[in-house]
Amino acid sequence: MIVFVHGVPETFVIWDKLRANLNAPSVALSMPGFGCARPVGFGATKGEYVDWLVGELNQFDEPVDLVGHDWGAGLTYRVATASDVRLRSWSADIANIMHPDYVWHDFARIWQTPGDGEAFFTAQRLSSPQERASGLEMLGVPHDDAVTMSEASDETMGACILDLYRSATPNPFAHWGSAFRPTAAPGMVLCPSDDPFGGEKKSSEVAAVLGARHQILDGLGHWWLLQAPELGADLLREFIESVG
């Protein structure tokens, strides 16, 4: 079974196009608070999301092929390096966020700042879905997908984003780096060449530490899974089939 985990500011439907081209059994999980309810008492910290993912994966009878994008990638790296979940393989992008020298992007720094983050999402709620979609399109999200993403954004998601990013300062490595070592399960790091939130050098260095394949996605951006779902499906299929 292939298990997909989305990121920010997304829901599980971000994987629909790629999964349609994959022709293999798969499931896309919904991070708590992202297009679904936030459980009572759930703090939406990175550690709590890891615990949630571990619980979801342990429900499968067999080892899974785990695929993560954006924060789903961050959770994937943590599960692959520091949990007892049985993985058959793992694949994830934005490996640069797991580098010891990683500096958060501008949006993250706004969200991590008390007051500024709340003001950001208040302004988002006061704008129309079409206005929010335009901003996503400027970051490389195809129009129809940008509209879908903007319509799914709500107050619950915004609050979860703030709590998640504020739990990850100064960067994820500062909290999780002690467990960073070659993974037991084979891994593949995906590195879109045009990702404004990425970084090829740091990505390749993280992949080397993890003993993972480093795959450049030429001409694609952060939302490569929406821009080229056929290519993404082909790469994942080839890698997963190569795992013995």
CA distance 56 to 216: 29
Q: Does residue 32 have a cis bond before it (omega within 30 degrees)?
A: no
Q: What is the pLDDT of residues 205-222, one digit of tens each?
A: 999 999 999 999 999 999
pLDDT at 130: 87
CA distance 93 to 145: 19
- Looking at the structure of the chain, the number of domains it has is 1
Sequence-distant (6+) residues with CB within 8 A of 76 are: 5, 66, 67, 68, 90, 91, 92
pTM: 0.96
- Amino acid 31 reads M
Length of the chain: 244
Residue 138 within a domain:
no
Structure tokens at 32: 């708590």
196 pLDDT more than 90 = yes
Q: What is the pLDDT of residues 126-152, one digit of tens each?
A: 888 889 999 999 999 999 999 999 999
Residue 196 within a domain:
yes
CA distance 58 to 76: 14
Q: What is the pLDDT of residues 158-171, one digit of tens each?
A: 999 999 999 999 99
Residue numbers of the domain that contains 97: 2-103+172-242
pLDDT at 23: 87
Residue 115 within a domain:
no
Give, in order, the Cα–Cα distances in Å from 32 to each of 108, 116, 206, 243: 19, 23, 27, 30
Residue 226 within a domain:
yes
Q: Using alpha carbons only, how large is the chain's radius of gyration in Å? A: 17
Residue 191 within a domain:
yes
CA distance 19 to 230: 9
Q: Give the mean model confidence (pLDDT) for residues 96-113.
A: 97
CATH number, domain of 88, equals 3.40.50.1820
Three-state secondary-structure class, residue 99:
coil
Residue 180 within a domain:
yes
244 pLDDT more than 80 = no
